[in-house]
Structure 1
């Protein structure tokens, strides 16, 4: 019964998160606060709200492993989504067609942030201020600096929606409330599954819940690939991963028993290291010279997919 509740709730989260993305785009188009950075934060926040609600609920039920594993696992799953589509569309040689000047700084930042998380998960007695890990302050500063550099120019937002700002705002709020409720149930059900089956809470958070909350990103990337907007697909995944790490900062603020990475189990290091490795493959793929043979081109995506499932098996 618990598994059925988990699956039904996961479907609700996916549907509501898709609506969040839709209405978030309306607000981005119609609001005077649009611009590159505001739009990115709004849409990024919309698609990442399931991760936030599930992790905050995990904090409420005092399961830090699900809270941390959900964020780390969502980032890993996001990269896996991108590389699966890169493999499927390998004849298009997607990474050979995009301008890496925008994507590389974001990918490098994601790699550096993931490395910081891995270090502080391993160092389980790191210092804190106001019960918040010192690493969280560092991650927030890095994010702000990078976002300001990327937002050097405002871009004109294409007006494609017939909805008004009021309609978009109301729709966004309703969808957000649905995600908040469903995301909370998803986490509680995941915690129950871990207790009933004896599965590791880190595995449940990193792979079961993370996969469920990341499915809206899958829909977004699928749409971008079908429209041949490969740069949007890559940018949405890399940007979403940076945003997810900031949600971990918010989670640590609400977890008042001490730095959450100090308390989370060491098993989360597997997911953190997997994130570092998969991000490194993305960076390599963005920088490598164009290749003609499909077998050679598809190697990075193939290795990424294999790494994901090997790590899933190890944690299970």
Structure 2
């Protein structure tokens, strides 16, 4: 019965998250909330809301392993999605359309993840106002990175976007829809964490594995839907940017988790296997950077698809290692 409830909550989360993203897009386009950067944050926050709710609920259940592994697992699954879709649509060579700023976003994601991995390997034990000092460094690095990226984006031309949904959905409808969808995701995400915790307890599967693959996979499905839709619309840059942007935003969830966790720095309370997950995210991030660089280079174009193939292989290899170490 627990599995059925988990799957039902996952389906509700996916459907609602897709609607939430649409409403966020309408609000970002129809209002003057601060331009491109705020609009991007709103959309990123919308697609990352399932991860926020599931992780915070896991902290409430005193299960930091699920909370943290859900974040790293979601980023791992997102990169797997990018590699899988790139190979499935190999003839389109979507990585060739990647804007140069996408590489910078990937590097920012890699640096944020590396900072958190270092914090797990070498915990300082220093807390300030209820959070570890590494979280303040994370916010500072994120802010500096976003400032650099937004400054770079202002110097590049923007592509025309589809606005059919703007005519179909009013701003009032979008605001109410966003609020209701956020509430539904909050409830569904909480159910995912509660049932995931119950599955881990009843089956003997570690919380780290449940958070990394079961819950993270469920909360990352909206990104899969968004990427496939973007590919069908031949907007390959949007497909790549959606994954890389979500990964950058997801890392910030660790800050909320740390403030919510009342037993010290949350990264000091996770299982050692989390190191494997974070390291896997770093490795797969490098493969994505390599895929974009190869796609943009005529010299190595014959190797197109190799990095994405390595992403898929390493994802399953890491899955086995994490399961074996759990």
Unaligned runs of 5+ in 1: none
The 1:30–1:97 alpha-carbon spacing in structure 2 relative to 1, beyond 3 Å, is: closer
Partner of 2:278: 272
Q: Matched residue of 1:257: which SS? A: coil
- The farther-off stretch of 282-291 and 269-278 is 282-291
8 Å contact 2:98–2:236 — kept in the other structure? yes
What is the alpha-carbon root mean square deviation over aligned residues? 1.6
Could you list the structure 1 runs, at least 4 aligned residues long, displaced by more than 6 angstroms after superposition.
154-157
Structure 2 counterpart of 1:297, from 300, 304, 315: 304
- The farther-off stretch of 267-276 and 284-293 is 284-293
Deviation at 1:274, TM superposition (A): 0.3
- The farther-off stretch of 23-32 and 116-125 is 116-125
Partner of 2:205: 199
Deviations 1:149-183 (A, max 9, x none): 22233969854412221110000000000000000
Structure 2 counterpart of 1:287, from 273, 276, 293: 293
TM-score after normalising by structure 1: 0.95
The 1:157–1:88 alpha-carbon spacing in structure 2 relative to 1, beyond 3 Å, is: closer
Partner of 1:35: 35
Deviation at 1:210, TM superposition (A): 0.2
Partner of 1:221: 227
Give the Cα–Cα distance (whole angstroms) in 2 for the partners of residues 201 and 308 of structure 1.
19
The 1:221–1:156 alpha-carbon spacing in structure 2 relative to 1, beyond 3 Å, is: closer
Unaligned runs of 5+ in 2: none
8 Å contact 1:131–1:256 — kept in the other structure? yes
Deviations 1:246-292 (A, max 9, x none): 11111111112111001111111111000000001111222232344
In the alignment of these two chains, the number of paired residues is 313
8 Å contact 1:49–1:179 — kept in the other structure? yes
- The farther-off stretch of 27-36 and 240-249 is 27-36
1:181 has 2:187 as partner: yes
Partner of 1:89: 89
Give the Cα–Cα distance (whole angstroms) in 2 for the partners of residues 277 and 207 of structure 1.
17
Deviation at 1:34, TM superposition (A): 5.2
